[in-house]
Amino acid sequence: ILGKLDFVREQLREIEPLREERDRLKHLVSSLVATNQSFQEEQIELQRQNNHYSFTISALQTRLEGAENQLLKFQAGDFAPKGEGMKDKKQVQLGTSEKESGWKGGSSEE
């Protein structure tokens, strides 16, 4: 019986370092999972920002193209007054709303 008891004690001594290593690895895995989740959340936020900036850039490019086309028409003399009874016949519609352009009206000399 004493021999078996010594054998069991020896086995427990060999197992203890393995248990400590297992616990250390469990902690490491938990830490890696938390770090991965944090990175995933950051990636989602960066993707959201990227989508917003892409949409903004696209909208600005569209407005710029429209303004460039209107400028080319104006330079080519291909414009007409907008409707009857305009106060200033030099006013030219540039395709951008007055609200968007910040234009408050007036003649082209202003």
Give the pLDDT of residue 107: 45
What radius of gyration, in Å, describes the C-alpha atoms of the chain?
37
Give the pLDDT of residue 77: 82
pTM over 0.75: no
Give the pLDDT of residue 82: 56
**Sorting pLDDT into bands at 50, 70 and 90, what band is 14?**
very high
pLDDT tens readout for residues 19-78: 999 999 999 999 999 999 999 999 999 999 999 999 999 999 999 999 999 999 888 886
Give the pLDDT of residue 2: 83
Give the pLDDT of residue 110: 38
Per-domain residue ranges of the chain: 6-79
Cβ–Cβ contacts within 10 Å for residue 76, how many? 8
Rounded distance between C-alpha atoms, residue 105 and residue 110, angstroms: 9
Query: Does residue 58 contact residue 31 with C-beta atoms inside 8 Å?
Result: no
Residue 90, pLDDT > 60, answer: no
Q: Using DSSP, how many helices (H) and how many strands (E) does the chain show?
A: 2, 0
